[in-house]
Amino acid sequence: MAVVSTPATLERALPVMDNAEVLRIRNDFPVLNQLVNGQPLVYLDSGATSQNPVSVIEAEQEFYEQRNAAVHRGAHHLAVEATEAFEDARQTMADFIGAGYEETIWTSNATEGLNLISYALSNAGLWAAQGRGDQGLRELALGPGDQIVVTEMEHHANLIPWQELAFRTGATLRHIPIDDDGNLRMDAAAEVIGSRTKVLAFTHASNVLGIINPVQELTALGRAAGALVVLDACQSAPHLPLNVKDLDVDFAVLSGHKMLAPTGIGVLYGRQELLDILPPFLTGGSMITTVTMERAEYLPAPQRFEAGTQRISQAVALAAAANYLTETGLDRIHTWESGLGQRMVVGLDAIPGVRVLGPAAGKERIGLAAFDVDGVHAHDVGQFLDSRGIAVRVGHHCAQPLHRRLGLTATTRASAYLYNTTDDVDRFLEAVAGVRAYFRA
């Protein structure tokens, strides 16, 4: 009997990534083929914004050259083709994260997606109080006595929207603390998440610590409490296989610019039964069924949350990026990047006066490392590395509470992706080794 090859079996059949393959991949990224301060660019800032392969650039360009038109708003040839490309891209992203087509909503970025959920939950309370909408809204509404739970390691995008939701509704915001190594204290999580918890929001992978959080354990605690579970997948979706159904979360967000796509495009996943009863966040054209001078009725998801002209070319390009990652193999990418992350940590640990945040060498992490150089400000470290053609991120990485908990105001972060080689990491480590001597720290 013939054996049918599935995408998973095909991926396992592919060889482990090596430097030779990565150099071929690197040729797909035009921006990487340049000199910075007279030296070949080593780009280690993909945790902030990744670079774009030719296929993604060409996908957006081809849309503008061949089928640029408004979607869902015309019967002419270009409008039909534009709509098909736009909705095909939605299906591609739904498949990429293991979601349903109707559960996949376009946003500008992950931050907008998190704000969308926050404001929709605010509006749920308003609608329920006025007897408007589905009866299920009463269960989603928050008020005094209810709790929202986040973690101490959250990016501001997954903290401030929940602070504001607590302010608007009178709910209480609580957080799961971390230990001195940056790991979530799961013993405390079991105490913090309780019967009054209505929302549990946490990051899949920390943009500072590199830690991959125990999603299933946290989700189980949220489910036991009857809470909505919101996953920030910004640092996981680009780097490792992601299936929102297997993770059993209610909502998840990602940003295209962190996964080889243009800026200005992101995805919100939400369970269908929740999306169809939640009130919209933005209102206007394209998301309505009937409008009178007094009121409007709204379409079901996904259009319910997509008011106005959408990010059409960016969505098409994001789908091309997802295809590039899928064809390369996310399991393979994760394995390669994890190796680069370990190489960073081992190398940084060997440099006197350098403190690495997050898991110790040998423990699982995504391919990034944030670190502090004793006696040298992170901004000076970043400028020193830039003078040697090495691009890294400096600052608090939109995670001030986490840095404060670890006794720091800023760190330097190197984050790798599928186009980085071991030589890139070694050049980076060699440069960091010279920082304290240069600044006479």
Domains and CATH numbers, the chain: 7-53+329-438 (3.90.1150.10), 67-326 (3.40.640.10)
| Closest to 169 (Cα-Cα) out of 233, 124, 102 | 124
* Confidence at 113, pLDDT banded by 50, 70, 90: very high
Question: Whole-prediction pTM value?
Answer: 0.95
* Confidence at 240, pLDDT banded by 50, 70, 90: very high
- Mean pLDDT, residues 55-66: 98
pLDDT digits (tens, 9 = 90+) for 69-85: 999 888 899 999 999 99
- The pLDDT of residue 74 is 82
* Rounded-to-integer distance, Cα 94 and Cα 104, Å: 6
* Confidence at 13, pLDDT banded by 50, 70, 90: low
Please answer whether residues 266 and 110 qualify as being in contact, where contact means their C-beta atoms are separated by less than 8 angstroms: yes
Is the pLDDT at 12 greater than 70? The verdict is: no
pLDDT digits (tens, 9 = 90+) for 332-389: 999 999 999 999 999 999 999 999 999 999 999 999 999 999 999 999 999 999 999 9
| Other CB atoms within 10 A of residue 428 CB | 26
- The pLDDT of residue 3 is 34
Instruction: Mention every residue, 6+ apart, whose C-beta is less than 8 A from residue 436.
Output: 352, 353, 373, 374, 375, 376
Gyration radius of the chain's alpha carbons = 23
* Rounded-to-integer distance, Cα 46 and Cα 367, Å: 10
- The pLDDT of residue 14 is 75
Please answer whether residues 370 and 356 qualify as being in contact, where contact means their C-beta atoms are separated by less than 8 angstroms: yes
Known catalytic residues are 398
- The pLDDT of residue 134 is 83
